[in-house]
Amino acid sequence: MMIRVLGCSGAIAAGSKTTSFLLDDSILIDAGTGVGDLTLDELARIDHIFVSHSHLDHVLAIGLLADSVLRRRATQGRPPIVVHALASTIEALRTHIFNGVIWPDFSRLPTVDAPVLKFEPIAVGDALVLDGHRIEVLSAAHTVPAVGFAVDAGDEQGWWVYTGDTGPNPLLWERLRTMKVAHLVIETAFSDDERRLAELSQHLCPSSLRAELAQLAGSVDVHITHIKPGEVDAVMAGVERLAHPHRIHALHAGQRMELGQRNDSASDVLRQSPEPLVSLANNL
Ligand SMILES: [Zn+2]
Ligand SMILES: [Zn+2]
């Protein structure tokens, strides 16, 4: 299986898109501005959207995507795209976005009986199996109700874990202690200069990241995400000063993370394709 990083920035600028990951062809994890780089055919293949929380940088493409594929899905008789989110996140989306003012209610369009979107509540600890993928809902600690997600790449490989937006979060590490974590995508939204802002907005900065990573066992590929454009060097310089046993990388839009079964002995080599590509097998 393949995870494409469509966007991993904390804000927008040319070349910087907000958070979205595409798991194989049909599952989107968060729906930030990176979704806009998919072709119409690729957009039309998305059947599920997992939403970490209600903030705009993670949700704004849900409604735009629905609008793009509505006609095509209706013509093909396809079922609604299922939006999986906390009940409070669904309520926020309905109240503040799909309210007929900011955007139409696509959970009732093109028809009430056959809409293009369907909202399904999830809760921390839920494990869903969709299109052959097992996805678990993880806790997050943010200014609004929030979750992260873990995708199971199989017993041999372990889990691909995405924290979502979060400040310090003991419950996450409690759960991850019982899982084989292969890749951890963790936010570090602020540099240490802005530690106070990070605390207020329940994000991480390098010094708080250190305390979080100290709770992660073993030696894991850690990918830093949600850095604002123009602040990547400052944040990564702070991260690189931390002492820990993990392999740290800055996540890049366009990166593909392959989580497939690998049989060759070169599987522990970080493979660089035209777009950066990381194999889960790195950790075996
Ligand atoms: Zn947020
Ligand atoms: Zn965010």
Q: Which three-class secondary structure state does DSSP give residue 259?
A: coil
Query: Residue 171 has what pLDDT?
Result: 97
Over residues 118-165, the pLDDT tens digits come to: 999 999 999 999 999 999 999 999 999 999 999 999 888 899 999 999
Centre of ligand 1 to C-alpha 183, Å, is 21
The answer to whether the predicted template modeling score (pTM) of the entire model surpasses 0.85 is: yes
Centre of ligand 1 to C-alpha 75, Å, is 35
Place of tokens 């100290």: 214
Centre of ligand 1 to C-alpha 265, Å, is 40
Looking at the CA of 140, name the nearest ligand.
1
Q: What is the mean pLDDT of each run of 10 residues along the chain (284 residues)?
A: 97 97 98 98 98 98 98 95 98 98 98 97 98 96 98 91 98 96 97 96 97 94 96 95 92 91 37 36 35
Query: Residue 261 has what pLDDT?
Result: 55
Looking at the CA of 32, name the nearest ligand.
2
Query: Residue 270 has what pLDDT?
Result: 34
Query: Residue 155 has what pLDDT?
Result: 81
Centre of ligand 1 to C-alpha 27, Å, is 21
Place of tokens 């889990």: 159
Residue 216 one-letter amino acid: L
Going by C-alpha positions, the residue among 238, 231, 278, 227 that lies closest to residue 255 is 278
Looking at the CA of 54, name the nearest ligand.
1
